[in-house]
Amino acid sequence: MRCPFCLHLDSKVLDSRQTEEGASIRRRRECTSCQKRFTTYERVEELPFLVIKRDGGREAFSRTKILNGILRACEKRPISLDVIEKTVDEIERQIRSGPDREVASELIGELVMDKLRELDDVAYVRFASVYRQFKDVDNFIEEVQQLRQDK
């Protein structure tokens, strides 16, 4: 591993630990030339996932997009960041466990809405109003009434 300070190619591992529930390994290293310490992370290289957008276009899967959407929906709600992170992890795990390397954005949106419905009604309705592109108050009222019937 190349030292980020002196660019020497040799370093020794001082400590290794699993992080993120075993998803990666954190290694503390020391350069054999300048003796400075630095940290590296080792994780499994995941195959790229493509998302098929509503207009038929394709783009790389972005966990950050899901996280940002859920964060906006949960804004000023009593939901911890830890719970939100775990929710995004579950959604990503569901998507990656499927047989296809391409997934429709509609499927992702429905998974997010299912998880938000379990977490918080207000966050669910916020997300649904944007995702389903409510055109007027009637759409909003219908969604709230359906949510009440389901509960």
3-state secondary structure of 136: coil
Amino acid at 44: V
Q: Give the tokens for residue 40.
A: 């590296």
| Residue 131, pLDDT score | 83
3-state secondary structure of 50: strand
> Across the 151 residues of the chain, what is the mean pLDDT of every consecutive 10-residue run?
94 90 88 96 81 94 94 96 93 89 93 94 90 78 83 74
Regarding beta strands 24-31 and 50-52, do their DSSP bridges make them parallel or antiparallel, or are they unpaired?
unpaired
Regarding beta strands 102-104 and 37-43, do their DSSP bridges make them parallel or antiparallel, or are they unpaired?
unpaired
Helix axes 105-119, 121-131, angle to 10 degrees: 160
| Residue 20, pLDDT score | 67
pTM of whole model > 0.75? no
| Residue 37, pLDDT score | 97
| Sign of the Cα pseudo-torsion (125, 130, 136, 138, in order) | negative
3-state secondary structure of 21: helix
Domain positions in the chain = 11-43, 50-135
Cα 71 to Cα 30, 87, 112, 127, 137: the distances in Å are 38, 11, 11, 10, 23
Strand partners, 104: 52
